[in-house]
A = this chain, B = another copy of it.
Amino acid sequence: MRADAQRNYEMLVEHAKLAFAEHGVDASLDAIARRAGVASGTLYRHFPTRLDLVEATLSHQIADLIGLGHHLLLPTHDPFTALSTWLHATLHHALTYRGLSATLLNTTLDHTPETPSPWHKELLDTTTHLLNRARAANTITTEATDTEILKTVTAIAWATRNAPDQADRLLTLLLNGLRYGR
């Protein structure tokens, strides 16, 4: 990549982080480009879709989350606790920016024509594995599908986007509903 292009890329990610943190993932792309000191066309060249830009600002955090997921899949962990830890972490991730929960729902869990990003696929896969382990250990109901459970987690993130302190309590409620023999 040419040096000026590299610099533009970094400036865009940096200002996107600020804008997303302040206004949520629906922040004006035009304003991001302006504050990063580039024209709008340059933003679109580097990030064809808004999702590309969102993912770029979250790349480290996503890597961490996926790392945690792999860790929790080790057989040393109690299946239900591992599932619980994972869903809480996913919930917090979805709360990073206002509107990120909607992005997650749309791109991972609703039938989108586009291929889901590797990030989203990994999220769903990890959840599936942890749920399967919890089901195999006979600790949770089989009443709800993987997708439905992950949907509910994003829904909780969405519902508590202006009061994130309530998020964990609502997820605990969901886990109570899932759990057998409480």
Q: Which stretch (A1-9, A79-87, A125-133, A148-156) binds chain B?
A: A148-156
Most chain B C-beta atoms within 10 Å of own C-beta, residue among A143, A156, A158, A159? A159
Given known pairs A162-B110, A162-B111, A166-B148, the reply for A143 and B172 (CB within 8 Å) is yes
The answer to whether A137 has its CB under 8 Å from any CB of chain B is: no
Cβ–Cβ < 8 Å partners of A141 in chain B: 173, 176
Q: 1/0 per position for A144-182, CB-CB distance to B under 8 A?
A: 100010011011101110110010011011111110001
B148 and A170 form a contact (CB under 8 A): yes
The answer to whether A105 has its CB under 8 Å from any CB of chain B is: yes
Q: Which residue of B lies closest to A172 (CB)?
A: B143
Q: How many copies of this chain does one complex carry?
A: 2
B155 and A159 form a contact (CB under 8 A): yes
Given known pairs A151-B160, A156-B155, A159-B105, the reply for A173 and B170 (CB within 8 Å) is no
Cβ–Cβ < 8 Å partners of A144 in chain B: 169-170, 173
A143 and B163 form a contact (CB under 8 A): no
Cβ–Cβ < 8 Å partners of A169 in chain B: 143-144, 148
Interface of A toward B, CB cutoff 8 Å = 105, 109-111, 141, 143-144, 148, 151-152, 154-156, 158-160, 162-163, 166, 169-170, 172-178, 182
Q: List 14 A-B contacts (CB under 8 A).
A: A111-B162, A141-B173, A143-B169, A143-B172, A148-B166, A148-B170, A155-B155, A155-B156, A155-B159, A173-B174, A175-B177, A176-B176, A177-B177, A182-B182
